[in-house]
Amino acid sequence: MRRAGDLLGAIYLVALFVFVFAPIAASVVFSFNSDRFPTLPLGSFTTDWYARAFSRPELWEAIANSLLVAAVTSVLATFIGFATAYTDFRYGFRFKQAYLALALLPPTMPLVIMGLAMLAWLSQLGLSGTLRGIIIAHTVLATPFAMAICRLRLSQMDTTLEAAAWNLGAGQWGAMRHVILPFCAPAIVSSLCLTAAVSFDEFIVAWFVSGLNRTVPVMILEILQGNVDPQINAIGSVVFLTSMTLVVLAQLMIFRRRRHD
């Protein structure tokens, strides 16, 4: 009885995984498949879609834009996220609840609304249509993730460690540099990876504010608005590979140490 139940449960879990990961797997499979409208049985193996997609100069431009935006966003978001996590860890103050709400609220806001609000506000500042505009918006969206990762790491730290450093004569800045930052290093690297992935995949806000400076996902969106084009699978597979690598790296950084602690 128990065995049968376990088996059913396992099958259910696998089915759910198949549903969640089917589009990712399908995208990779179709990217190497010769049919324009893929079906079963599959057509022949080809790398043609990759060759076509990557021979477009605008794709390389978009990749350069995406990498730049993701890199700057990850540094900014990680700094702000770390600072916020440390503030929450170290200090109690009035309105702390509101402060934390501000820190964690952005991901709950629909991206379409963020896109419109950012477009309107950045236009007022003369920043819409620039890469700086996208960086600003992505930093807003990515900071909560950075804050969560750093806070998770800080919660594993012995709270007396910092005080011990002060007692041994370190100043506040010294304790930060020699105790807190080294302890948080894995979380900081992890946060850099994860926030880069957030920025690399975000397309709605980027689409609203980008103007002519397109990032990779914005370019995919614009191809999508035309016809079915298997080049998207080729570009998409590269995008998947990039963000999945970043996320897995992020996970390895924060969860690796735990086993030994």
Partner 1 sequence: MIDRSGLYRLTWRLPLLLWQGAFFVVPLCFMAAMTFWLVQNYRMEPAFVWTNWQRMLGRAVFWDAYWVTLWRAALAGLIASVVAFPASYVLAFRMGEAGRRFVLLCLIVPFFTSFLVRAYAWQVILAESGPVNAVLGGVGLGPFTMLNSSFGTMVGYLTLVLPLVVIFQTWSLAAIDRALIEAAWNLGATPVKTLLRVILPAARTGLLLGAVFAFIMSFGDFVSPAYLGGSKPPTLSILIIDTTKSGQQWPRAAVVSVMMIVTLFATAAAALRLAYGRRG
Number of residues that bind partner 1 (CB under 8 A): 83
How far, in Å, CA of 208 to CA of 237, rounded?
Answer: 24
Residue 252 buriedness (CB in 10 A; 0-12 / 13-18 / 19+)? middle
Comparing C-alpha atoms, which of 131, 94, 150 is closest to residue 209? 131
Name which of 213 and 231 has its Cβ closer to partner 1.
231
Looking at 45, 92, 126, 173, which residue binds partner 1 (CB under 8 A)? 173
Q: Where are the alpha helices (DSSP H) in 91-213?
A: 96-104, 111-125, 131-154, 160-167, 172-175, 181-201, 204-210
* Choices 52-60, 64-72, 158-166, 227-235 (CB under 8 A): range interacting with partner 1: 227-235
> Hey, what amino acid is at 59?
L
Are residues 235 and 216 in contact, defined by beta-carbon separation less than 8 angstroms? yes
Task: State in angstroms the smallest separation of the CB of 45 from partner 1.
Answer: 17
Task: State in angstroms the smallest separation of the CB of 68 from partner 1.
Answer: 18
Residues in the chain: 261
Tokens found for residue 31: 């990217």
Cis peptide before 57 (omega within 30 of 0): no
* Choices 54-62, 65-73, 151-159, 224-232 (CB under 8 A): range interacting with partner 1: 224-232
Please tell me whether residue 166 binds partner 1 under the rule CB under 8 A: no
Residue recorded with tokens 């998947």:
240
Please tell me whether residue 80 binds partner 1 under the rule CB under 8 A: yes
Task: State in angstroms the smallest separation of the CB of 164 from partner 1.
Answer: 18
Please tell me whether residue 140 binds partner 1 under the rule CB under 8 A: yes
CA–centroid distance for 172 within its chain: 32
* Choices 10-18, 56-64, 148-156, 182-190 (CB under 8 A): range interacting with partner 1: 10-18
Task: State in angstroms the smallest separation of the CB of 235 from partner 1.
Answer: 8
Residue 25-64 contact track with partner 1, rule CB under 8 A, x = bound: -xx--x------xxxxx-----------------------
Looking at 110, 126, 169, 226, which residue binds partner 1 (CB under 8 A)? 110
How far, in Å, CA of 135 to CA of 85, rounded?
Answer: 21
Name which of 143 and 213 has its Cβ closer to partner 1.
143
Please tell me whether residue 161 binds partner 1 under the rule CB under 8 A: no
Looking at 137, 149, 165, 253, which residue binds partner 1 (CB under 8 A)? 137
Looking at 3, 4, 57, 91, which residue binds partner 1 (CB under 8 A)? 91
Looking at 44, 108, 160, 227, which residue binds partner 1 (CB under 8 A)? 108
> For 129, which DSSP code?
T
Question: Does residue 93 come out as left (phi exceeding 0), alpha (psi in the -120 to 50 range) or beta?
Answer: beta
